[in-house]
């Protein structure tokens, strides 16, 4: 039986593809050694890069997601090691060739202190000249209704006869970040319908801010990259840091 956290993760993140070409490009340019995917979830990117011949370490703080990543990698015989750890304090016991932080995971670490703790942990795993790249959501203000004339379509999947739908319903500003509000709704094979609220807070962070935070920690900022917005997802600015 698939864990609910795994299903909701796949519903809300699994179909995003706009960033894949950037991570593939950075992975192809990295030196020898594994690629560390921080906040890897169930492996949307880790498995994609492994299918292209890269060794990948996928790190996630959610034990169920890390276990599912390990299961999927083993089932597909792909070179992915899943690590259950917090990005703010981890020790892989080895160096990596590249660190990537897709889909705003850097904005889930609890603000400047959490980001600094992560950047220090990551620096211990990077040789001089190796890169760390992290996607940061473009700023969005107001509610979903303020920004669009129509509500965005829900993310939907069907698993074992139950339909899972996640509806974005609002964006609320708080000091230092925004809270994205969703309604998670299920309809089981008997037609029973259940709904519950879900919120995720994204810390405010820009490439310029993260570059300034990273400099005293031994990184040099390169030109930021962009992931374009799609109909369903905001665009991202990708901060690219080189370990000094
Ligand atoms: C928005 S999802 C992105 C998942 C995946 N990288 C993708 O792009 O599809 C954020 C992920 O970061 C993980 N995460 C959140 N806080 C974390 C932390 N402190 N350390 C490691 N992972 C964390 C979550 O469990 C979740 O899997």
pLDDT digits (tens, 9 = 90+) for 20-42: 999 999 999 998 899 999 999 99
- On whether the CB atoms of residues 13 and 75 are closer than 8 A, the answer is no
What is the residue-wise DSSP string for 161-181?
Answer: TEEEEEEEEEEEEETTEEEEE
Q: How far is CA 220 from the centre of its chain?
A: 23
150 & 215 share domain:
no
Nearest atom in ligand 1 to the alpha carbon of residue 109 is: 19
196 is written with which tokens? 């519950």
Mutate to test the pocket of ligand 1, among 105, 120, 238 (most ligand atoms within 8 A of CB): 105
86 & 164 share domain:
no
100 & 162 share domain:
no
User: With a 6 A CB cut-off, is 58 part of the ligand 1 pocket?
Assistant: no
10 & 58 share domain:
yes
User: With a 6 A CB cut-off, is 40 part of the ligand 1 pocket?
Assistant: yes
Q: How many domains does the chain have?
A: 2
pLDDT at 168 over 60: yes
Share of the chain above pLDDT 70, in %: 95
Distances (CA, A) of 128 to 43, 79, 97, 120, 232: 27, 25, 10, 14, 37
Rounded CA-CA distance 182/11 in Å is 12
Q: Cα(15) to centroid of ligand 1, in Å?
A: 15
CATH code for the domain in which residue 164 is found: 2.20.25
The residue length of the chain stands at: 244
102 & 192 share domain:
no
155 & 231 share domain:
no
Q: What is the pLDDT of residues 82-112, one digit of tens each?
A: 999 999 999 999 999 999 999 999 999 999 9
134 & 227 share domain:
yes
Identify the band that residue 139 occupies on the pLDDT scale cut at 50, 70 and 90.
confident
Q: Cα(178) to centroid of ligand 1, in Å?
A: 17
* Mean pLDDT on 151-170: 90
Contacts of 204 (CB under 8 A, 6+ apart): 107, 139, 176, 177, 178
This prediction's pTM: 0.95
Mutate to test the pocket of ligand 1, among 14, 57, 60, 177 (most ligand atoms within 8 A of CB): 60
- On whether the CB atoms of residues 177 and 200 are closer than 8 A, the answer is no
Residue 61: half-sphere exposure toward Cβ, Cα within 13 Å: 10
191 & 122 share domain:
no
216 & 182 share domain:
no
Q: Cα(149) to centroid of ligand 1, in Å?
A: 30
Tell me which residue range forms the domain holding 114: 4-139+206-243
pLDDT at 199 over 60: yes
State residue 149's pLDDT score. Answer: 47
15 & 71 share domain:
yes
What is the residue-wise DSSP string for 203-237?
Answer: E---HHHHHHHHGGGTEEE---EEE---SSS--EE
User: With a 6 A CB cut-off, is 202 part of the ligand 1 pocket?
Assistant: no
Domain limit, last residue, from 171, 186, 202: 202
Q: What is the dihedral of CA 21, 103, 121, 205, to 10 degrees?
A: 120
Q: Identify the bridge partners of residue 207 per DSSP, sorted by sequence position.
A: none
């Amino acid at each position: 039986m698939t864990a609910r956290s795994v299903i909701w993760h796949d519903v809300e993140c699994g179909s995003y593809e706009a960033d894949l070409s950037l991570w593939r490009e950075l992975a192809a340019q990295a030196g020898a050694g594994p690629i560390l995917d921080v906040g890897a979830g169930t492996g949307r990117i880790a498995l994609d890069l492994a299918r292209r011949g890269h060794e990948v370490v996928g790190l996630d703080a959610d034990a169920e997601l890390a276990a599912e990543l390990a299961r999927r990698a083993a089932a597909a015989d792909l070179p992915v090691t899943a690590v259950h750890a917090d990005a703010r304090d981890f020790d892989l016991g080895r160096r990596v060739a590249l660190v990537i932080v897709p889909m705003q995971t850097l904005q889930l670490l609890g603000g400047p202190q959490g980001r600094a703790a992560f950047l220090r942990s990551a620096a211990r795993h990077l040789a001089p000249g190796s890169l760390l790249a992290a996607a940061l959501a473009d700023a969005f203000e107001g509610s979903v209704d303020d920004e669009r004339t129509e509500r965005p379509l829900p993310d939907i999947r069907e698993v074992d006869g139950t339909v899972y739908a996640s509806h974005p319903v609002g964006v609320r500003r708080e000091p230092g970040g925004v809270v994205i509000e969703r309604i998670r709704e299920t309809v089981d094979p008997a037609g029973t319908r259940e709904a519950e609220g879900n919120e995720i807070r994204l810390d405010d962070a820009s490439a310029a801010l993260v570059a300034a935070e990273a400099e005293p920690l031994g990184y040099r900022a390169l030109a930021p990259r962009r992931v374009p917005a799609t109909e369903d997802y905001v665009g991202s600015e990708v901060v690219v840091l080189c370990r000094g």
